[in-house]
Amino acid sequence: MNEKSSTSRIASLDGLRALSIVLVFLGHTYTTRGYPKNSLTEFLGGFSHFGVQIFFVISGFLITSLLLRERSITGRIDLPSFFLRRTFRIIPAALVYIAFATALRFILHHPFPLKYLAYALTYTLCYSQHHPWVLAHLWSLSVEEQFYLLWPFALVIGFGIRKKTCWTVMILSPIARMLYERYSPGLTEYAFPAVADCLAAGCLLALYAPELKRLPRWVYGVPSAAAIVIAAFAASYVEHLSPLVWGIIPLMIAVAIQVLVTRRDWIFNNPVLTYVGGLSYALYLFQQPFLVQSYSQNRWSSFPLNWILAVSFALIAHYFVERPMLRVGKLVNERRREAAIAEEVSINAEVTVA
């Protein structure tokens, strides 16, 4: 859910990712054995979905910002290069996790039907109402991958109507949620059409960046923490709101992101949070098997051992899968660009000779 080399140029995003993954951890840990149950942990335990919403808004903002920057520099968007970067960033770690989760279920004598493995491998799990816990969180990866496939093409093909496209999604997503709530309640919070407004809110934030930069500095004088608290306050009541008004929350998150990336407060840019933000993808993948529901009697799924195991496996995945594959992806992209340049030079030379 992040691209370290790119986000280092946008302050506060890794800090926000750290906040998001902490909310996911707290939400999933609340149901595990050994975790303290009180009003505070119960309150914080209700924010896991909000953490994923933050991830989505960040993703829409970052991907759109990168593509717009590329277009402004080169005059075009290199789709093959984009897809290669995303492939090496997302898929290797996901495949390693899916293999790990599958092996774990067999070891524990709880294998799941192959259809769920097919859903996971084809990134369509967001349309499955029932799935094993160890794969359940991959619904968000399904949403991300579908966004990666659709949005760059939308930018290239319909560049002149990109804002209208996003606002249309902001209108249609709440309607999709209402329809899912009536006909397929299990997909109300997970299906791509039902959560696309989170991604669209981030895209809009990037698309309106030139206008937002012209705002006077006093607009960003409100403490950045206040913007996050306001968005979190709205999210805490998400279960009590109509699906029609859930679209307010992504817009509030986008406002919070704008305040944070403009103010560049230390709290979201300190080394600890930025490091955790860099690990957020691996942490998100590998927390799931260990933060299982309270009915599990396994010691490894009891707090705090489950946190230790989740973080340990995430570190292994980050340093031995994510980072090496990012380097491979960068090398492949560089060689592809070099080959394209060489081919262009050769064609120009032939034209000149002719």
Is a pLDDT exceeding 60 seen at residue 315? yes
Return the pLDDT at 130: 86
In this structure, of 108-117, 126-135, 206-215, 335-344, the range with the lowest mean pLDDT score is 335-344
pLDDT (mean) for 128-154 = 92
Of the candidates 146, 156, 230, which has an alpha carbon nearest to the alpha carbon of residue 190? 146
Angle at 349 between CA 344 and CA 352, to 5 degrees: 125
Give this prediction's pTM: 0.90
CA dihedral 143, 145, 146, 152 (to 10 degrees): 130
Question: d(Cα 163, Cα 81) in Å, to the nearest integer?
Answer: 24
Is a pLDDT exceeding 60 seen at residue 305? yes
Contacts of residue 214, defined as CB under 8 A and 6 or more positions apart, other chains included, come to: none
pLDDT, tens only, 179-227: 998 999 889 889 999 999 999 999 999 999 888 888 777 666 655 556 6
Return the pLDDT at 5: 40
Question: d(Cα 311, Cα 318) in Å, to the nearest integer?
Answer: 10
Q: Which two tokens stand for residue 150?
A: 């659709």
Return the pLDDT at 8: 42
